[in-house]
Amino acid sequence: MNFLVTGGAGFIGSHVCERLLRDGHSVWAFDDLNDFYDPQFKRANIRDIQSLALPFEFFHGDLCDVDAVNEIFSSVKFDQIIHLAARAGVRPSLEQPALYARVNVEGTVNLFEAARKNGVKKITVASSSSVYGVNAKMPFTESDAIISAVSPYAASKLACEALGHTYHHVYKMDVAMLRFFTVYGPRQRPDLAIHKFTKLIDAGKPIPVFGDGSTARDHTYVTDILDGVMACTNKEFGFDIFNLGESQTVKLSELISLIENALGKKAIIDRQPLQLGDVPITFADISKAQAKLGYNPQVKVAKGIPLFVDWFRQNRQ
């Protein structure tokens, strides 16, 4: 099949492109290579994919540019779309809420419209665990009332979920929304905690720790995320939402210890106050994904952190 992967040069997107190619599909990656973090990381991802010498094309474009979106749809007949492109990050969204709304919401509308006009019926979309906000019920389930988003990023992802339902209801598209829980692994964005902490501890520099270390996240290794994404491409749902996580929470203090042990170095802690937009915990109930997708995460964080550190050591930048 012909797949369009938006955000295909990014962390998760580049892995999705590789998995699709290895499964025998043809892939077009659409990415604007923005400077949210150093674009050299994304260019390196593209080079890695191109080195596979499989049917892959990279298209440099912005989803907010309707002409660019129409151009790629006019040149290729796509069977499916995997929509991963977005302005990411909770804290940066507090500084630029209008940018997050434009890219994440308007860009998603442009993509859905191009798909509708060109007869693409199946789209898998990246949402986020951030939509749960400050949720008192543990673990988080897809049926929870979503009324407590605490950042513009989370709000933009909620809007995308609503758009997905609308395009299913009105235009009969098959749309799966995937709520990712704190993804990490090779190629992880350098601004995210595991990559940032590993780099700073390795260099003997202080790491910024917000709060007392008791905040907890459901860290999910990228290969497990890939399994969930691929399962969505092989089934039809009409419209549905799935949590993709490990269903295991790890406190920030414990995470730092795992990184220290993998590196064989101690962290220098720069204690800072909790940040606006942060939530105390994320915790995925994955029973729905297990039942409908056959999702079965394999890499617990105690195994995943040493795997990431091994990758980091081989790819220091």
Catalytic residues, by residue number, are 153
- Rounded-to-integer distance, Cα 45 and Cα 27, Å: 14
In 3D, which of 218, 225, 222 has the Cα closest to residue 246? 218
State the pairing for strand pair 250-251/216-217.
antiparallel
C-alpha distances in angstroms, 220 versus 103, 168, 269?
A: 25, 28, 24
DSSP state of 273: P
- Residue 16 CA to residue 225 CA, distance in Å, equals 9
13-to-42, 55, 227, 268 alpha-carbon distances in Å: 10, 16, 13, 33
Q: State the virtual CA torsion across 179, 185, 188, 190 in degrees, nearest 10.
A: 120
Cβ atoms of residues 312 and 194 within 8 Å: no
Residues counted in the chain: 317
